[in-house]
């Protein structure tokens, strides 16, 4: 049985004043796990304020330490109180040119540091319109996930690039098609036991108004939420929908 996961990605938003949202999010505590990934400067303070909510980073470097100005290692995230890290988000892939091989190396570093990773995959609108979605997702899964994946150390997030921050979401059939495909791919590569235990999140314009229908889709084990995770009032409604699913 996979435990549902409501993950919030604050991206480059939030200062210490916003940590008050974490206290309000505790109200939604139920059977689903809750994770918030704030910007790195907030991780220590967030981990102290988080209570039942897990705290994660939004990226890490593949090395443990060294001459990499501005970068943060998985060991540092763990030391600051994080338990998870988002890797290969499309904004990292596009803004920082991260390849599948980069994401895979970061994922190994995260696991070595004892973090759970949320590996993001997703097609662009051009790729969807060219009917290449499943090929793209299959390639990203194969290239970005290291061999040592388990249901404990890995979560996969399907985030269509064109749905992120746009208010557009795929049809429920399209979400189901990709999630079923990802489940089969994971079972084929890692065996049925591991493949069935990895949680699959949908991300991209998840809001209180569409969460319940998305959570009703097969093989959707939760959501990776950007904008609607910034305010507890919205995120609590999404968590409540997940708890009820
Ligand atoms: P959004 O972002 O919910 O604001 O669309 C999702 C994400 O990028 O993880």
pLDDT at position 184: 98
Q: What is the mean predicted confidence (pLDDT) over 68-85?
A: 98
Q: What is the mean predicted confidence (pLDDT) over 52-68?
A: 97
pLDDT in tens, 27-49: 887 899 999 999 999 999 999 99
* 61 noted as active-site residue: no
Lookup: tokens for 92: 């990292």
Tell me, using a 6 A CB cutoff, whether residue 240 lines ligand 1.
no
pLDDT at position 20: 93
pLDDT in tens, 209-228: 999 999 999 999 999 999 99
Give the nearest ligand 1 atom to 164 CA. 5
Annotated catalytic residue within 91, 123, 159, 179: 159
pLDDT at position 26: 87
Domains annotated on the chain, with CATH: 5-244 (3.20.20.70)
Q: What confidence category does residue 237 fall into, taking pLDDT thresholds of 50, 70 and 90?
A: very high
- Judged by phi (left if over 0) then psi (alpha if -120 to 50, else beta), residue 45 lies in alpha
CA distances from 97 to 91, 93, 185, 193, 198 (A): 9, 5, 25, 33, 27
Cα Rg, the chain, nearest whole Å: 17
Tell me, using a 6 A CB cutoff, whether residue 165 lines ligand 1.
yes
pLDDT at position 174: 97
pLDDT in tens, 138-190: 999 999 999 999 999 999 999 999 999 999 999 999 999 999 999 999 999 99
pLDDT at position 203: 98
- Cβ count near 58 (within 10 Å): 23
Tell me, using a 6 A CB cutoff, whether residue 164 lines ligand 1.
yes
Annotated catalytic residue within 89, 91, 98, 179: 89
Share of the chain above pLDDT 70, in %: 100
Phi, psi of 48 (to 5 degrees): -70, -30
pLDDT at position 29: 77
pLDDT at position 239: 96
Give the residue, by CA position, lying nearest to ligand 1 atom 9.
Answer: 226
* 89 noted as active-site residue: yes
Average pLDDT over the chain reads 96
pLDDT at position 1: 78
Give the residue, by CA position, lying nearest to ligand 1 atom 7.
Answer: 226
Tell me, using a 6 A CB cutoff, whether residue 226 lines ligand 1.
yes
- Judged by phi (left if over 0) then psi (alpha if -120 to 50, else beta), residue 81 lies in left
What is the whole-number distance in angstroms between the Cα of residue 37 and the centre of ligand 1?
12
pTM of the model as a whole: 0.97
- Cβ count near 3 (within 10 Å): 11
198 has a pLDDT exceeding 90: yes
């Amino acid at each position: 049985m996979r435990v549902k996961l409501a993950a919030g990605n604050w991206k480059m938003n939030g200062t210490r004043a916003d940590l008050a949202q974490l206290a309000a999010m505790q109200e939604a505590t139920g059977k689903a796990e809750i994770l918030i990934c704030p910007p790195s400067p907030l991780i220590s303070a967030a981990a102290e304020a988080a209570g039942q909510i897990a705290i994660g980073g939004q990226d890490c470097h593949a090395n443990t330490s060294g001459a990499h100005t501005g970068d943060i290692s998985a060991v540092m995230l763990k030391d600051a109180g994080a338990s998870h890290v988002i890797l290969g988000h499309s904004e990292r892939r596009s803004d920082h040119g991260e390849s599948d091989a980069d994401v895979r190396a970061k994922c190994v570093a995260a696991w070595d540091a004892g973090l759970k990773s949320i590996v993001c995959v997703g097609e662009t609108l051009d790729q969807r319109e060219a009917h290449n979605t499943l090929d793209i997702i299959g390639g990203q899964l194969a290239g970005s996930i290291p061999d040592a994946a388990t249901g404990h150390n890995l979560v996969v997030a399907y985030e269509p690039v064109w749905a992120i921050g746009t208010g557009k979401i795929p049809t429920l059939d399209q979400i189901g098609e990709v999630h079923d495909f990802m489940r089969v791919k994971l079972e084929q590569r890692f065996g049925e036991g591991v493949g069935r235990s990895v949680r699959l999140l949908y991300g991209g314009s998840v809001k209180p108004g569409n969460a319940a229908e998305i959570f009703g889709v097969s093989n959707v084990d939760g959501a990776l939420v950007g904008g609607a995770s910034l305010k507890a009032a919205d995120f609590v409604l999404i968590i409540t929908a997940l708890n009820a699913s």
